[in-house]
Amino acid sequence: MRALRIFFLFALAALSPVCVRAADARVSDMAAKLLLSRAENGDAESKLSVGLSYAQGRRGFPLDMESAAKWFASAAEDGNAYAQNFLASAYSKGEGVEKNPKLAFEWWEKAARLGYPEAMYNLAACYAGGAGVPRDYRKAVDWWLEAARHGHAAAQMNVAALYLNGSYLEKSQPEGIKWLKLAAQSGNSDAKSALAGFYYHGKGVAASKPEAARLWSEAAEAGDVFAQKNAAAMYLRGDGIPSDKKKFLRYCSMAAEAGDPDCLFNMGVAFELGDGVEKDIARAVSYYERAAEKAHPAAAERARRLKAAK
**Average predicted confidence (pLDDT) for the chain:** 93
Residue 208: predicted pLDDT: 98
DSSP letter at 206? -
Half-sphere exposure of 97 (CA within 13 A, CB side): 20
- The secondary element (H helix, E strand) that includes residue 94 is none
- 59-115 pLDDT, tens digit per residue, is 999 999 999 999 999 999 999 999 999 999 999 999 999 999 999 999 999 999 999
Q: What are phi and psi of 161, to 5 degrees?
A: -65, -40
Q: How many CB atoms lie within 10 A of CB 58?
A: 12
What value does the mean pLDDT take over residues 255-262? 98
The long-range contacts involving 282-289, CB below 8 angstroms and separated by at least 24 positions, are: 287/256, 288/264
* Residue 273 confidence (pLDDT) above 90: yes
> Cα–Cα distance between 41 and 37 in angstroms, integer?
6
Residue 292: predicted pLDDT: 98
> Cα–Cα distance between 23 and 71 in angstroms, integer?
13
- At 22, the pLDDT band (50, 70, 90 cuts) reads low
Cβ–Cβ under 8 Å, residues 306 and 285: yes
Q: How far is CA 2 from CA 7, 11, 13, 205, 287, in A?
A: 9, 14, 17, 84, 87
What value does the mean pLDDT take over residues 247-253? 98
Residue 227: predicted pLDDT: 98
Candidate CATH numbers 1.25.40.10, 3.30.450.40, 1.10.10.10, 1.10.150.240; the one for domain 26-122: 1.25.40.10
Angle at CA 60, nearest 5°, toward 54 and 63? 30
* Residue 4 confidence (pLDDT) above 60: no
- At 13, the pLDDT band (50, 70, 90 cuts) reads very low
- Its pTM stands at 0.86
> Cα–Cα distance between 172 and 166 in angstroms, integer?
7
**Stronger pLDDT, 77 or 1, i.e. the higher one:** 77
Length of the chain: 310
Lowest mean pLDDT: which of 10-24, 92-106, 251-265? 10-24
Residue 9: predicted pLDDT: 28
* Residue 28 confidence (pLDDT) above 90: no
Residue 310: predicted pLDDT: 73
- At 12, the pLDDT band (50, 70, 90 cuts) reads very low
What value does the mean pLDDT take over residues 254-261? 98
> Cα–Cα distance between 221 and 225 in angstroms, integer?
9
The domains of the chain are located at: 26-122
CA nearest to 63, candidates 23, 119, 24: 24
CA dihedral 44, 50, 54, 58 (to 10 degrees): 140
Q: What percentage of the chain reaches a pLDDT higher than 90? A: 91
Cβ–Cβ under 8 Å, residues 292 and 300: yes
- 129-142 pLDDT, tens digit per residue, is 999 999 999 999 99
> Cα–Cα distance between 165 and 149 in angstroms, integer?
19
Residue 1: predicted pLDDT: 37
> Cα–Cα distance between 250 and 232 in angstroms, integer?
8
Residue 8: predicted pLDDT: 29
Angle at CA 105, nearest 5°, toward 100 and 106? 100
- 137-196 pLDDT, tens digit per residue, is 999 999 999 999 999 999 999 999 999 999 999 999 999 999 999 999 999 999 999 999
Report which residue type is found at 305: R
> Cα–Cα distance between 301 and 292 in angstroms, integer?
9
